[in-house]
Chains A and B, each alone.
Chain A
Amino acid sequence: MKAYATARALPTLFKVGFAEAVAYRGEFLVWMFSTTMPLIMLALWSAVAREAPIGRFGEKEFVAYFLATFIVRQLTGSWVSWEINYEIRNGTLSLRLLRPIHPMLTFAIQNLAAQPLRLIVALPMAAIWLVAVGTGQFPHGPLAWLAFGLALLGGWLVTYLASFSIGCLAFFMESSIKIMDVWLTLFFVFSGYLMPVELFPPALRNVLDWLPFRYQIGLPVELLTSAHGAAAAAGLIARQWCWAVALFISASWLWRKGLTRFAAYGG
């Protein structure tokens, strides 16, 4: 019964989330244009590849890789950690608690409802990709596209649930934004955001396979640029979803423990 009521509320929540994103469209656009890092990295790496390819990456491969990074970053971004910190501090979280739907779900829908708007920036990037390097690197066949879809969803889940878990730490301390900053720094370096994970020294690469970061961006990007065979892709997707499940458990546990300490200051 409860699941049914929740399911019925979902479309409305989506509509509200989308309306919110549209209402602040100017700000939203500025946010999206602030993700210039993949393009800056592209400048460096294509300058490197111009002289001679590095690994299997020539100039074209780097263009495809970093445009894919830009697109995937748009589609998997999440700010939930900052939102939870803000709502705990102002006490406005109590409004969310009054609703008969788990906040993990309402935050998630708010996040996903903005996605159509993000496509406005992501799609032109895809168009540039098509013009610049053609479809050669796109996934071949429906199965490969399905794998990419799974990895993209998994990437968002890992990002969202990690951010949610860290956000919940704000129940136990004044603010967990600093911890999120540390996570973000590690994410920038180790996720494949600044450079393809392949280009790291082999020893480090093995470590990265076990850390969550490369599953946030690296894996979906690699699948979108057909970097893996079927077996390797399946193995990596399995690890990614293991991380998603682990982070789901940690997020739920931290939320339950933390909520008992919530005092709704000023709310």
Chain B
Amino acid sequence: MHRLLRYGRLLIAQMRASTLTLLQYRFDFLADGMLEILWAATALVPLVIVFRARQAVAGWSFGEALLVTGWFTLLQGILEGAINPSLTSVVEHIRTGTLDFVLLKPADAQFLVSTAKFQPWRATNVLTATAVFIYAFRILGRVPSWTDVVTALFLLMTSTLLLYSMWILTISAAFYVVKIDNLSFLFSSIFDAARWPSTIFRGFLSFVFTFVIPLALMTTYPALALLGRLRSPTVMLVLAGSLLFALLARAVWLLSIGKYTSASS
């Protein structure tokens, strides 16, 4: 319990530090927020065009597909606001050898590197996503029940956990192959596939996106939950899968950091 409190305080301190850094560049802060909204809108344009011509695509109506895009926007905000920035700087730490300073601190290294940097303007994605959700339910002409919302929020946590674990696995590769700055771009562009309902993908890709890179679990399942179409055994399976993935990521991280042999010193 005491340990947990200490890490809670540490997290707050880290968040405060990155917010203060960002407030130095207030104009950028605003511009980036606006840009995020514009960017989120680009994800909607193809959907609008598609559903002008069709009532349903791969079993999804416009409102339902919008829910998936909403989750995509939300998770993208989490990815680019809370996960990406910190972990990109780990690669730099490993390359220049400054990871030494992190390892010397009396706290878990994975925790420290994962919370090193936040980009609070990505919070605009939460607003955009909420707007998309509200619009989607207006089109569907109904209101989600409370249990559905709670299930969906629960799945949001497992999705975040999955996303984070996948990132840790990617970063662990940096201990072996140093030059991977732009892996974050590759990762984001693969994540782009999560913007459509997973039934759009067929065959091989559908298998990959459910079991290997579990994009379907991240956006399609929460949308199904909001629609009240997800059964509780599936939710339990998703939870078990995410926890397993997280444990695997932790194990690989511990293994890789054991291989770390500072640079230049």
Contacts and interface: CB of A to CB of B under 8 A. Distances in A.
Given A30-B186, A34-B182, A36-B192, A44 B45 contact: no
B190 interface: yes
Interface in A1-53: 26-27, 30-31, 33-37, 40-41, 43-45, 47-48, 51
Given A40-B193, A178-B28, 11 more contacts: A26-B177, A27-B181, A30-B180, A34-B182, A36-B192, A40-B195, A40-B196, A47-B58, A185-B38, A194-B46, A195-B46
B46 A27 contact: no
B54 A51 contact: yes
Interface string B10-39: 000000000000000000100110010011
Contacts, number: 78
Interface string B198-217: 01110001000000000000
Interface in A160-201: 178, 181-182, 185, 188-189, 194-195, 199-201
B186 A33 contact: yes
B193 A26 contact: no
Contacts of B50: 44-45, 48
B115 to A, nearest CB: 26
Contacts of A182: 35, 38
A48 to B, nearest CB: 5
Contact of A185 (B39, B46, B52, B190): B39
Contacts of B52: 201
Contacts of A36: 189-190, 192-193
Contacts of B183: 30
Given A36-B190, A51-B54, A195-B49, A44 B185 contact: no
Chain A binding site: helix, strand, loop or mixed by DSSP? Answer: helix
Given A30-B180, A36-B190, A48-B53, A43 B205 contact: yes
A200 B38 CA distance: 19
B264 interface: no
A54 interface: yes
Interface string B131-174: 00000000000000000000000000000000000000000000
B42 interface: yes
B49 A37 contact: no
A187 B201 CA distance: 26
B251 interface: no
A54 B201 contact: no
Interface in B48-99: 49-50, 52-54, 57-58
Given A43-B196, A48-B53, A194 B189 contact: no
| Residue of A26, A34, A36 contacting most chain B CB atoms (<10 Å) | A34
Interface in A193-236: 194-195, 199-201
A33 B192 CA distance: 13
B57 A47 contact: yes
Contacts of A37: 189, 192
A54 B53 CA distance: 7
Nearest to A181: B35
B45 A189 contact: yes
